[in-house]
Amino acid sequence: MPTYGYKCQNKECKFKFEAMQSIKADALTVCPKCGKELKRIYYPSNFRFGISKIKNQ
Ligand SMILES: [Zn+2]
């Protein structure tokens, strides 16, 4: 399962966290701290790791 990074767009919050989510899962859009908009950040290395695990099955 890939790990997605999220960063809050609220300049006074800037909360960053990572979430393990299925590729099919909807992206989180609301900051759990302040309730404002989140931006999803992709981590290419983790994404590739997820792909290789699928191929090994
Ligand atoms: Zn926030």
Q: What tens digit of pLDDT does each residue of 3-31 get?
A: 889 999 999 999 999 888 888 888 899 99
Q: How many angstroms is it from 12 CA to the middle of ligand 1?
A: 8
Q: How many angstroms is it from 9 CA to the middle of ligand 1?
A: 7
Which residues, in sequence order, are bridge partners of residue 18?
5
Residues 49 and 29: their CA atoms lie apart, in Å, by: 24
Q: How many angstroms is it from 33 CA to the middle of ligand 1?
A: 5
Query: One-letter amino acid identity for 47?
Result: F
Q: pTM for this one?
A: 0.67
Q: What is the CATH number of domain 3-56?
A: 2.20.28
Beta pairing, strands 38-41 & 3-8 = antiparallel
Domain boundaries, the chain: 3-56
